[in-house]
Structure 1
Amino acid sequence: MMKTKETKTKKSDELEDDDEFDYIKVPPDGGFGWVVLIACFLINMIIDGFLYAFGAISDDLKQHFACKEWAVSLVISIACSCYLLSAPLASALCNKWGCRPIGIIGGIIAALSVAASVYAPSIRIMWLLFGFIAGIGMGLVYLPSIVMVGYYFEKKRAIATGIVTAGTGIGSIAFGPFSRFLFDKLGWKYGLLILACILSGCALCALFMRPLKPIRKRRILEPIQLLDANTEPAPSTTSALLNENKEIGASHSSHEDLNTLETATENRLRANSAVSTKSRQSIKAEDAIRPMYQEDILYPGNVQQLPEYQAQPDLETYVQETTKVPETNKPTAMKAFWDTFLAMTNINVLNDKKMSILCLANICSMIGFYIPYLFIMKMAINERKIPEHNAVYLLSLIGFSNTAIRFASGWLTRIPYLTPLLANNLGLAIAGVVTLLVPFCSTYRLLVSYCIVWGGAIGTVYCSIMIRFIPFSLP
């Protein structure tokens, strides 16, 4: 009986001690993180390269389905829309089941849908398979590749993000000429099947998205101690302790009095500590590894420049303070899913006028984002009479300059006077002006110059988009 009581006492003490600790995951900023970084780089390269190279294959689809240009363009429009609009769903799924399984499932869905679209009897079925289903699949594997950068990197996150997103430019360089080569040699059906096989490689890359093991860290208690009705206030002065000692001493020996006093004081302090820690629920081990509970998980810039980071004494405390688990009285099995999905689809943020203007500006800029990728090659061939084997490299030049800017984005964030807003505005202004001059580009060299400048300008805009939204997402 005595052993049973002692065991129960030890277990209760351990439970009380757990209330005084949080589980957190500490990004290694290296190590296996570099393997994850390469995997995420390849995912970005394959998916974005595949989508941006669609302009090189659209003529084949137009001839096969005997449809108009807008019908073929709608295939890639639906794919890109679903690819981006699936972000709230992908975020919630990753928070519930983890980035690795969702990335694998997304890669498989995308590859199978693209392969099945080869046998589509009409352009409408192509919209469904290639556009809708494959687009969602690509979104399910793309978002984990971005999330895992913030999951494994904190201090080196800006550079890591620049490397991963540079995969988009590398994909643009490689996939345009490569897809054109496949279609010329094998036909568009076999060529698209090979591209679907390459797309399935995203599922293999997702296998490396291993979750981190959480560690225990003592919680930072609130300065105000909350006491229940059955708990007496702990003595805060020497006189109070002496008075209590004097009362106890009336019926016990001095040695027993001292032990009793120490035990009583310790119990009160433990009670006060336990009550005060309950002002916020502790972070459990299973919640610590959920990526979307980390407030800065999608922030691509240098986190060391954030006021929230600078206000903390060390990295562990910063991670602890920016890991927010929504509290609920009735937790359900799908709590982690709905916490993220409802947060991602909450439109109350649009009540801020600055945020509304920012979103409207991004809608306007993104409307024209894919137009050069889709039509620059056709313009060069049909209107400037440039040979097809030369025109296909225009897409690669866009990717080349885009890649250079994305690689440099990690270092560009450290330029003192180059704010994200200034970089965004300069990029949009340059991209808009040079696009207005495209009708006057009558030679291949001028089109080459346009593609290089436009690709670099758009790369600048892309790298600054997420950073501009951070003031509205971090408290």
Structure 2
Amino acid sequence: MGKGRQEEEKRPNGTADDSEEPNLPVPPDGGWGWMVVFSSFLIHVVADGIVYSFGIFYVEFLDFFKGGKGETAWVGSLVPGITLSVGPIASALTNKYGCRPVTIAGALIASTGFILSLFAPNIYYLYFSFGVLSGLGFGLIYLPAIVIVTNYFEKRRAFATGLAVCGSGCGTFIFAPLSKWLLDQFGWKGAILIQAGIILNCVALGALFRPLEESVPRRKHNHLDDEEVEALVKHSEHSGNPIVKFKKHQNRNAQKKGDTHLSPIFNVQPNMIRSDGALHVIGNGKSTPGKSVGSMSPPSPRHLHPLVSEKRHSSHVTLRTPVSVRGPMYRKDIFYSGSLVNIPMYRSNPAMYVTSITSIPEHISSAEDWKLFGFIKLSPEMRDTLKQMLDFSLLKDPVFLLFAISNLCTSIGFNMPFIYLPDRALELGIDSTDAAFLISVIGIANTFGRIVFGWLSDRQSVNRLHLYNCALTICGLWTALSPLCTTYPWLIAYAASFGLFIGVYVSLTSVVLVDLLGLEKLTNSFGLLLLFQGVATLIGPPIAGWIYDGTGSYDISFIAEGTMIALSGVMLWWIPCLQRRRNRSTAGTDLEVDFGKECDIKVKVDDVSA
């Protein structure tokens, strides 16, 4: 990034000279990418398998440290809570150093946390070693394992990402009985030491995350015809929106005659690029009914901009971004796990889509404002990522706020069955091996659920928001009714249904976010959601444990947190109402330019941020 970045920051609005064109890495959609998917799959097996099988250790910690259920549950909730909460930091490090070194560092930190846990004199020591330190390490492992897959795939992204995250359910299925066997054979200290060694294998797996090499620029372009150009210029002139500038340069074919060529250059602002890649132009507070330029009737010559009506040339449409944009987090779709073929602009022109979703954060004049803890100076890559992911202005959007509250409610109950279901089975007189197998049932059902819901979400006839709502509501109701499951077969049925329907939570969150907010807000909204999820995951299991300590039963805990999950699905049915209200208050798509035909206009991206 170095010198190119410094030169870019000296320009107003962080723009680059229009002669520059980025050599963006082209995802191969295969090749070494399948090794990346395999590595990511195994990382999910190890990391999520160990985290979600904590319920086996929970029973052992209760007996060894003699603490309360709520007090002991903090150990298990800190790991996933910290893992999610450090998502923005992990993203910033990944943008600066790449997926490979961050994954390797995370594996070393997580393994160190497990090893230090062997010397725990009390449960509070485990809060730091097993909870905070290992959670930090898993956070640095987990996020790059997702980012690297989406970086390698475009057309096959949904399939590749689905394969990678299936490792989570498979890992839970494998590590639940494995952890029980290790505990029986070596005690909890021996089991944790062996798991620390297993985590170290992520160092080798992370080494397979080879960064994409730069390639030649994508030069396939979409185009506008002359009538569409004139209509856009007309709109710019009458709305007062400074979209069009004109660049004067010598005509190479007529240098002797002194002829000049006036090229309109479009200044595309952040709010002009929609999630489907179309150019979305908004006037100065004045709105008119939405209309595509391609469908507009040709304007009369007297309405045309004089410079355009004088010269009607054809020049190439080229979206340009600074050569210095290299980090994976500068792609707005980096967290999008769905199929890109569902995005209209990607179907029509992948080259222009990739350029349009490359985020160029706005110029930050003072680096002093972006020092971590007031004294750690951040690199531009880290600063840009944190700025994107921690922009709290999105909380003013009622649609996002409702979705974030829903995620908070879901996360409160998400981890509870993984921690408490084995102990609840033991209280019902079920054998400890059979009780541990309940976690395996959740894991394998979760794998199946992610595949099913991922496949359904790609169907054109399926409303993804409704699918998401229904699955969460059913999952919550099952959890709230689970106290009625007092026999082992019924507990198996509950574990399978919970794992199946909660699969929608992980597989469709980013897809639904794009449907609701647009692709340009995905990085920002995903970063804030990680914070909501982290806090809720942190407090959810201890709350359930405290309820048990006060009542002597898990029934109220499962009813309360199951109700929270069901409520998280029910409240999202109000989102269409909020969207209609928002559309009425901000009505006004005024002009949409769909790049589908040929023309010769250079489009310069001055400042496109996520």
Tell me which residue corresponds to 1:302: 339
Tell me which residue corresponds to 2:465: 421
Post-superposition offset of 1:234: 5.4
Is residue 161 of structure 1 aligned with residue 161 of structure 2? yes
C-alpha separation between the residues in 2 aligned to 1:58 and 1:210? 37
Structure 2 gap segments, 5+ residues each: 1-15, 230-243, 270-318, 368-377, 521-610
C-alpha separation between the residues in 2 aligned to 1:353 and 1:277? 32
Tell me which residue corresponds to 2:513: 469
Post-superposition offset of 1:366: 0.9
Tell me which residue corresponds to 1:33: 33
Percent of pairs with identical residues: 33
Is residue 349 of structure 1 aligned with residue 397 of structure 2? no
C-alpha separation between the residues in 1 aligned to 2:320 and 2:112? 42
Q: Structure 2 vs 1, CA of residues 59 and 235 (structure 1 numbering), >3 Å: closer, same or farther?
A: closer
C-alpha separation between the residues in 1 aligned to 2:91 and 2:19? 29
Bigger drift between 183-192 and 205-214 goes to 205-214
Letter aligned with residue 90 of structure 1: A
2:22/2:324 contact within 8 Å kept: no
Post-superposition offset of 1:63: 2.5
What is the CA deviation profile of residues 90-135 of structure 1, one whole-angstrom value per residue up to 9, with x for unaligned ones?
1111111111111111111111111111112221111011111111
Greater fraction of residues in helix: 1
What is the CA deviation profile of residues 236-262 of structure 1, one whole-angstrom value per residue up to 9, with x for unaligned ones?
9xxxx9xxxxxxxxxxxxxxxx7734x
Post-superposition offset of 1:200: 1.5
1:21/1:282 contact within 8 Å kept: yes
C-alpha separation between the residues in 2 aligned to 1:46 and 1:176? 12
What is the CA deviation profile of residues 200-243 of structure 1, one whole-angstrom value per residue up to 9, with x for unaligned ones?
2222211111111222245979975534xxx6x6579xxxx9xx
Bigger drift between 404-413 and 355-364 goes to 404-413
Tell me which residue corresponds to 1:151: 151
Tell me which residue corresponds to 1:385: 429
Is residue 260 of structure 1 aligned with residue 256 of structure 2? yes
SS at match of 2:62: helix
1:159/1:411 contact within 8 Å kept: no
Given candidates 426, 432, 436, the residue that maps to 2:480 is 436
Post-superposition offset of 1:371: 0.8
Letter aligned with residue 109 of structure 1: I
Post-superposition offset of 1:144: 0.3
Tell me which residue corresponds to 2:329: 292
Q: Structure 2 vs 1, CA of residues 283 and 188 (structure 1 numbering), >3 Å: closer, same or farther?
A: same
2:96/2:382 contact within 8 Å kept: yes
1:96/1:337 contact within 8 Å kept: yes
Q: Structure 2 vs 1, CA of residues 373 and 17 (structure 1 numbering), >3 Å: closer, same or farther?
A: closer
Output aligned runs, 1:120-269, within 5 Å: 120-215=120-215, 216-218=217-219, 224=244, 226-227=246-247, 260-261=256-257
Bigger drift between 61-70 and 353-362 goes to 61-70
C-alpha separation between the residues in 2 aligned to 1:46 and 1:21? 41
C-alpha separation between the residues in 1 aligned to 2:245 and 2:504? 50
SS at match of 2:176: helix
SS at match of 2:23: strand
Q: Structure 2 vs 1, CA of residues 119 and 285 (structure 1 numbering), >3 Å: closer, same or farther?
A: farther
1:91/1:292 contact within 8 Å kept: yes
Letter aligned with residue 379 of structure 1: R
Tell me which residue corresponds to 2:497: 453
Post-superposition offset of 1:153: 0.8
Post-superposition offset of 1:449: 0.9
Is residue 335 of structure 1 aligned with residue 380 of structure 2? yes
2:183/2:190 contact within 8 Å kept: yes
C-alpha separation between the residues in 1 aligned to 2:196 and 2:30? 32
**Larger Rg over CA atoms:** 1
Tell me which residue corresponds to 1:77: 77
What is the aligned length? 425
C-alpha separation between the residues in 1 aligned to 2:430 and 2:444? 20
Given candidates 389, 403, 416, the residue that maps to 2:447 is 403
Tell me which residue corresponds to 1:53: 53
Tell me which residue corresponds to 2:357: 322
Scaled by the length of structure 2, the TM-score of the pair is 0.65
SS at match of 1:324: coil
Structure 1 gap segments, 5+ residues each: 1-15, 242-257
SS at match of 1:226: strand
Bigger drift between 197-206 and 370-379 goes to 197-206
C-alpha separation between the residues in 2 aligned to 1:57 and 1:279? 55
